[in-house]
Structure 1
């Protein structure tokens, strides 16, 4: 494969933030926000419809199949949708649903499952959901709950689950095996783990240590993270701060230098800045590694499509060669850059974040449904158009690319939240109501296209007027993320809302579960 000179792949890099080494999170004036109760109430109605369908046809199983009115146990049969829905029900103050879930949580048997357990998915959905609920109820909210819940039971269940998951870290290096089996807990025998599946555990497990006083949970994940903060060998870090994907469990060494801000690697970068927000004193090195990744992204990855050069996307990398493709999953990056810019007081990051939000917005408004695709591509405007890694679109998408600035390589929509997530951060950073309007438009399009039967379903083709048919599946993160972001962008201020002036009381895990920062406020 021909090597790529990346000098033309971006504008100039942002300045290295040398003065931040000893700085605390930056404070600035908060923007003014507009509450839109009618929109917020309509999102709450969609939550109730989704919950009612799940509760009638699927509870206490994991997920609803809304077309066939059946269920799936895709997350070990522990009631993933119920646990994922709890923090959203709490912030919506939907007490009926809160009480139903609180009654259920102590009954979950986290010792028993017949299917493979993902350390990553179980951490972000179940452990994150439980720790978040404990934090919200004990620190910010209790009125409206029918009877004062045994909140210690929530924490006990979180600890019970983590104790079963700990076996994952019993490896020669401490890099965990993401594939586990229970009855009894044991590793699946993997030889590698991924960047995201290793690097997206630290927030939930550290919070559990801080709540229980048992340091082991934090120590396990921080040891695993150490291989990502100091990657070896050199091929694992093709650009400063930007890493490969696969890590050997035996010794913590990287097997490749292929990565992106998309699936498989995404939330590692997300958690670097979020850990600094969680505790600036303990996690200053995580901030520094986020800065390195952000600066390299600006210097090497920023790309503009030939037909719409005003749009901004981030390329993925195969070693030092770029590929001009991205994902709905990667569209969280706009919000993450905005959060980093606010936290560090560095406008270059916020500006890139807002530009990335504009790019991901274009992927929504460009399709027949008004919903963005799972995967899309473009031709870079600065590289030679005959470069091997910069080919034009297929003939049948040429007209679409001319108009939209991207073409679709996977047209599915699986109820993903990342674009609305970034609208939320853009709004909280700026107070600009256009982001509320964009989020509202996206919600309406999803409501129109994905609402079916007893709930909401993923669809097959965002560029077909009717969505191309239903997959008959309502993801648990529909409750945790899409509905929460869609609600909070229109709702009143609250302790869990992201604060532009960095008086944050909570930082959100990658499943959008608000977790109390270490110092509180």
Structure 2
């Protein structure tokens, strides 16, 4: 494993203007730019891109050790499309032009052999989100980097893709089917899924609404709103809404009723809640009810799900649930769920609610502790804890004996030790920094980036690792997924960068909102 000189040098003190800010200084925070850190993130991006472009392009994902590729996202070049908004922010014109040239050649009618099953959710957040973001950027702050015909083609390709995916919504209830099959003689068809999850139903509306707003054709927004309405207006709340605003996971495609009351902020449910406040930020007039549902979900999360480890009660995590009541709580969380602090901070800024901001910062601190506790300095895929209040409850067991000492020190124990290049902890650092101007969040993000660089650098790029609590991360999975470009590198860069129109603002003047894959799209009604 190589160590790079910029990373080693940056382990020492960084010369900069230090800004101290209280959590409540969010109305007018000041920010600091660290050029040496920005250069370090740019180097990691270029190294990752060069490996991908030489050994994997135009396929989806690089296998950096074996120097080959995976087609894990349909074979349309997921890493390229996912990288374009980051390349634009870094002003990497050469890479931008390479990606734009590729986008013009994608045939969305066909997937590569062996990748016939297409996820509506993953394709929306990575490809459709990447395309509409690129169009917004290239007709806005980065206009002129490529010719107008190419820019128009990007929007045309987004329309082509949405038209193909639209078959997913042709169900009795309008709840889409997530898994589609391409390459048949009659075009895409749906699978026979009886249910779909709230994340895969509720994390479409931003991208599809933006496409409608760009094209003037409301049908794309209307398709996603029909399915979303079943989540906003739960038909069988006795099953599907255990707490006000907090809903189950799986919805019946036939009639829009909920099949369970299991949920929380982990994978499968997470980004439904994320998009509620982001849609209100996108257009407060059209999506006022989304704000109300987000507030209900946050208030219930604070009241019912907020939990403190028995031996580290100063830490705060959000529990999962399988129905209403303390005996139904499941004290488990994940790297994925660590976006929660950032989302709640964003909502607090949007709604001028200081209590939400402070609670979001508590959650950010808890996720930071998961990074501090491991050998590699990187947080695990999933973890558990023992709640400080529910003593002797059957759902509140102690740490296993082989992790008792680890739990006593850190306030959590590891249930899945992998790190697959996830962004969520750095993402929440970003929102915490933009809300407060407190440079400690920049330092936390830089520490995380240095540890990821040290542990995950592999072959011609970066790889997921098997064990964050083992020397060198255990072993490599030989996998560099596309969200490494879209999210980890983007948030690692933006938190160290200066002001720009697409940066999250603490003063109610946000011109852009980030989709769950960190692709910025222009807020409705904002001038170009």
> Where on the TM-score scale, by shorter chain, does this alignment land: which range?
over 0.9
For 1:502 and 1:180, locate their aligned partners in 2 and report how far apart those are by CA, in whole Å.
39
Q: Give 1:9-408 correspondences, 5 Å limit.
A: 29-113=27-111, 114=113, 115-143=116-144, 145=145, 147=147, 150-183=150-183, 184-234=187-237, 235-320=239-324, 321-384=328-391, 386-408=392-414
Q: Give 1:442-457 correspondences, 5 Å limit.
A: 442-457=448-463
Q: By how many angstroms is 1:519 displaced? A: 1.2
Deviations 1:269-313 (A, max 9, x none): 000000000000000000000000000001001100011111000
Aligned residues of 1:180 and 1:186 also touching (Cα < 8 A)? yes
For 2:433 and 2:273, locate their aligned partners in 1 and report how far apart those are by CA, in whole Å.
21
Q: By how many angstroms is 1:128 displaced? A: 0.1
Aligned residues of 1:123 and 1:201 also touching (Cα < 8 A)? yes
For 1:189 and 1:42, locate their aligned partners in 2 and report how far apart those are by CA, in whole Å.
47
Deviations 1:403-457 (A, max 9, x none): 0010000000000000000000000000000000000000000000000100000
Aligned residues of 2:26 and 2:435 also touching (Cα < 8 A)? no
For 1:473 and 1:29, locate their aligned partners in 2 and report how far apart those are by CA, in whole Å.
41
For 1:148 and 1:465, locate their aligned partners in 2 and report how far apart those are by CA, in whole Å.
50
Q: Which aligned runs of 4 or more in structure 1 are off by greater than 4 angstroms? A: 146-149
For 1:160 and 1:495, locate their aligned partners in 2 and report how far apart those are by CA, in whole Å.
29
SS in 1 for 2:464: coil
Report the number of matched residues. Answer: 493
Aligned residues of 1:81 and 1:477 also touching (Cα < 8 A)? yes
- Equivalent residue for 1:469? 475
Deviations 1:322-376 (A, max 9, x none): 1100000000000000000000001111111000000000000100000000000
SS in 2 for 1:207: helix
Distance 1:146 1:137, change over 3 A: closer
SS in 2 for 1:139: coil
Structure 1 residues without counterparts, runs of 5 or longer: 1-26
For 2:216 and 2:347, locate their aligned partners in 1 and report how far apart those are by CA, in whole Å.
29
For 2:218 and 2:146, locate their aligned partners in 1 and report how far apart those are by CA, in whole Å.
34
State the TM-score, normalized to the length of structure 1.
0.94
Aligned residues of 2:104 and 2:150 also touching (Cα < 8 A)? no
- Residue in structure 1 matching 2:505, options 487, 493, 499: 499
SS in 2 for 1:30: coil
Q: Give 1:418-429 correspondences, 5 Å limit.
A: 418-429=424-435
Distance 1:149 1:454, change over 3 A: farther
Deviations 1:173-205 (A, max 9, x none): 000000101231110111100010000000000
- Equivalent residue for 1:14? none
Aligned residues of 1:30 and 1:499 also touching (Cα < 8 A)? no
For 2:60 and 2:285, locate their aligned partners in 1 and report how far apart those are by CA, in whole Å.
38
SS in 2 for 1:298: helix
For 1:146 and 1:396, locate their aligned partners in 2 and report how far apart those are by CA, in whole Å.
57
1:489 aligns with 2:495: yes
SS in 1 for 2:337: helix
Aligned residues of 1:102 and 1:149 also touching (Cα < 8 A)? no
- Equivalent residue for 2:466? 460
Deviations 1:76-135 (A, max 9, x none): 000000000000000110011001001111100000014200000000000000000000
Aligned residues of 2:501 and 2:511 also touching (Cα < 8 A)? yes
For 1:316 and 1:441, locate their aligned partners in 2 and report how far apart those are by CA, in whole Å.
29
Aligned residues of 2:26 and 2:436 also touching (Cα < 8 A)? no
For 2:254 and 2:420, locate their aligned partners in 1 and report how far apart those are by CA, in whole Å.
35
Worse-superposed segment, 124-133 or 494-503: 494-503
SS in 2 for 1:64: strand
Q: By how many angstroms is 1:495 displaced? A: 1.1
State the TM-score, normalized to the length of structure 2.
0.92
SS in 2 for 1:466: helix
Q: By how many angstroms is 1:142 displaced? A: 2.5
Q: By how many angstroms is 1:30 displaced? A: 2.5
SS in 1 for 2:471: coil
Deviations 1:441-476 (A, max 9, x none): 000000000001000000000000210000000010
Q: By how many angstroms is 1:146 displaced? A: 5.6
Q: By how many angstroms is 1:260 displaced? A: 1.1
For 1:71 and 1:58, locate their aligned partners in 2 and report how far apart those are by CA, in whole Å.
5
